[in-house]
Amino acid sequence: MTDRKEFRDLAPPERAREAIDSLDLDPDPETVPLTDASGRVLAERIDAGLDVPGFDRASLDGYALRARDTFGADEADPARLGIVGAVHAGEEPDVEVGEGEAVEISTGAVMPPGADAMVMVEKTDEENDEVLVRTSVAPGDSVMLAGADVAAGERALGPGTRLTPREIGLLSALGVDEVPVRGTPRVGIISTGDELVRPGNGLHSERGQIYDVNSYTAASAVEEAGGEAVTYPHAGDDYGEMARLLTTAAEECDLVLSSGSTSASAVDVIYDVIEERGELLLHGVAVKPGKPMLIGRMSEGDDASAYVGLPGYPVSALTIFRTFVAPAIREAAGLPEPRTATVTGTMARRERYAEGRLRYMPVGLVTDADGETLVYPVDKGSGATTSLVEADGVVAVDPDTDYLAEGESVAVELFSPDVRPPSLFGVGEDDPLLSRLLDRLRNPRYLAVGSRQGLRRLRDGTPDVAVTAGPVEREVEAEPLGEWRREWGLVVPDGNPEAVVGLADLVDRDLRFVNRTTDSGLRTSLGNAAADLAEERGVDRREVVDAVDGFDLAVRAHESPARKVRAGQADAGLGLRATAETLGLGFVPLGDQRTVVHANPDRVGKERVADLAAALSDAGDLAAGLPGYDA
């Protein structure tokens, strides 16, 4: 039996940063063509090898002349100069300017010998072979002298300069065709765990398989931080394969990132690989999420490659990466820290916390009717990938904090400076017609938490709207925006092979059933139907419910029971006629539900709430394409 590796003394976050800072992630510098240099960082100083411009250049269209020949000239008494030639851009002058003479010249042309200034054409008139100059000019007027932009030998750009179009323009003006730049840190990415499957391959949920999330999020995050992501094959939980892949990645990359196999379970043994093949600097950090973090080196000496083990849960992995790893990659690439992206808001509701660890709490943002920012927790657990997109940023909660009070001011570190609160924030019942309505709005966010949870959150005052289906057990102060009806019942296999006709069949026969969670409006309607059947039979409701095989087997989404029926895992499931027909299944109607969109009374005047109300006026057209719907 494998010994468990216990978390004894969790390292504070400062120690984790120190451990990563001690690693050498710096890649070797390289030389790249100027055409490929945009966004890269200079590794060395570049001095100008020539003057820019390399000649005295006319700044305007006009006449090149000797400034002293114009002294005292004005509109009433112009200076008369003889025109002795012309010089155009891109040609060598073949004329010299003498006393009392001028040469016609184009913008950017080389100043002819003898001339020390020029006058713009708008201040002149021509008469026969003479030009009348109606202003006086000083030496150097309207002339860019050689080296005025950059002089030969001058420091043009220093090491650490990030090359943007401006710097690329300067280098091209200097005739530079290739530049020395900081190397891009190569980051090897390895996912562990026998349960993982790469997207695109078949998934066997009955074996507990899930798609590999971390390889893709980590690779994207590495590229965003300025590194080059190198994704290696999946390692599983095999010690030998882990060791082989980690060793290969260490030989080829500046940093190796693994995800999973970092906790204290009996099968999480990646720390053994690191201890055997290199040096383990840290195992476990006092943050939430992300406690099971590893920091170490693969191999030893000058050729040692940096190693960081990320937790297996996606939210934990991305939090640890953003907090500890991304800054190290940016520093190795020579890139500056990104623009600060922090907003201040107030907590929409009270949040308890007392675990003694620094907590990076995922949060969402919503604006109230006055445009003020409210902050609410988005915490489905570290294993919930939807937390990655339902949250807008994180709030760092001090280890000594017991709770955040409603209305308390908090600083939110946004995932990106481009993050904006959703235009409309809704919660409640999962519904196909609602999804079509939301498609008509710009940047809405909707959390399908069920009717009961939707009303609870509306009472808290967080969302703009809440959607309920079926009977509402507890009324809430709200403004109804619109409603529709939907037919609900039992979803059965195509052709209804068990000849199910109603709820009584589930009670009286040995049929497998899949229910919805207690927060669902469908579950409430089914519970009421069970109570009615119990009253008809003169028995207790619990007796009816207990007789249904699977009544307590609850799934969250509105299609989930139907999909289990289609997969042959159940004889019937709670659902909608629209879902049954979409999936090619049979349907046994049990009733219809009133589905209502409730507006937060404090947000009725919000622009996107009004937009939703307008979209609801067209709900009838959308309902026409959904079986069992009426609006």
Contact status, residue 56 vs residue 106, Cβ threshold 8 Å: no
pLDDT value at 300 more than 70: no
**Confidence category of residue 303, pLDDT binned at 50, 70, 90:** low
By the 8 A CB rule, do 355 and 288 touch? yes
Q: Rounded to whole angstroms, how far apart are CA atoms 247 and 274?
A: 10
pLDDT band at 201 (very low <50, low <70, confident <90, very high): confident
Report the C-alpha gap between 543 and 555 in whole angstroms: 22
pTM of the model: 0.71
Answer yes or no: is pLDDT of 207 > 90.
no
**Which ranges in 10-141 belong to alpha helices (H)?**
13-21
Measured distance CA(113)–CA(92) in Å, rounded: 11
- What is the reported pLDDT for 1? 36
pLDDT tens figures, 135-165? 999 999 999 998 888 888 888 899 989 999 9
The yes-or-no verdict on residue 196 having pLDDT over 60 is: yes
Closest listed residue to residue 238, CA positions, set 216, 280, 270: 270
pLDDT at position 543 is 95
Comparing C-alpha atoms, which of 521, 526, 516, 518 is closest to residue 564? 516
Tokens representing 365 are 């943002």
Angle between helices 451-460 and 521-537 (to 10 degrees): 120
332's tokens: 């190795």
Considering the domain 427-630 in this protein, what is its CATH number?
3.40.190.290
Q: How far apart are CA 488 and CA 469, in angstroms?
A: 10
What pLDDT digit, counting tens, does each position of 398-454 carry? 988 888 999 999 999 988 877 888 889 999 999 999 999 999 888 899 988 899 999
- The reply to whether 13-26+185-333 and 342-421 are identical in fold is no
In this structure, whether the domain defined by 342-421 belongs to CATH 3.30.470.20 is answered with no
Residue 2 has pLDDT above 50, yes or no: no
- Single-letter code of the amino acid located at 254: D
Q: Quickly list H helices, 538-587.
A: 541-547, 560-566, 577-582
User: With contact defined as beta carbons under 8 Å apart, do 329 and 336 qualify?
Assistant: no
Structure tokens at 107: 């913008």
Question: What are the start-end ranges of the E strands in 324-477?
Answer: 342-347, 351-352, 358-367, 373-377, 393-397, 403-404, 409-414, 424-428, 444-447, 465-469
- Residue 631's pLDDT is what? 86
Write out the two tokens for 480: 């109804």
pLDDT-derived band at 192 (thresholds 50, 70, 90) equals confident
pLDDT tens per residue, range 422-437: 889 999 999 999 999 9
Domain ranges of the chain: 13-26+185-333, 57-144, 342-421, 427-630
Q: What share of the chain is helix, strand, coil (3-state, %, to 5)?
A: 25, 30, 45
Q: 129 exposed, middle or buried (CB, 10 Å; 0-12, 13-18, 19+)?
A: exposed
Rounded CA gap, 279 and 87, in Å? Answer: 72
Phi and psi at residue 570, to the nearest 5° = -155, 155
Residues in the chain: 631
Which one is predicted more confidently, 363 or 314? 363
pLDDT value for 395: 92
Q: Residue 283: what pLDDT?
A: 86
Instruction: Work out the average pLDDT over 10-32.
Output: 91
Report the range out of 97-111, 240-254, 308-322 with the highest average pLDDT: 97-111
H helix intervals, 236-354: 239-252, 270-277, 314-320, 326-333
CATH code for the structural domain at 13-26+185-333: 3.40.980.10
Q: Give the CATH H-level superfamily of domain 57-144.
A: Molybdopterin biosynthesis moea protein, domain 3. (2.170.190.11)
* In contact, 275 and 298? CB cutoff 8 Å: no
* Cβ atoms 592, 576 nearer than 8 A: no
CA separation for the pair 326, 323 (Å, rounded): 7
Q: How confident is the model at residue 236 (pLDDT cuts 50, 70, 90)?
A: confident
Choose the most confident range, by mean pLDDT, from 90-104, 275-289, 546-560. 90-104
Q: Is the pLDDT of residue 215 over 90?
A: no
Predicted confidence (pLDDT) at residue 265 exceeds the cutoff of 50: no
Q: Which one-letter DSSP state was computed for residue 36?
A: G
Summarize the confidence of residues 558-583 as an average pLDDT: 95
Q: What is the CA radius of gyration of the chain?
A: 36
Q: What pLDDT was estimated at residue 70?
A: 97
Q: What is the pLDDT of residue 473?
A: 72
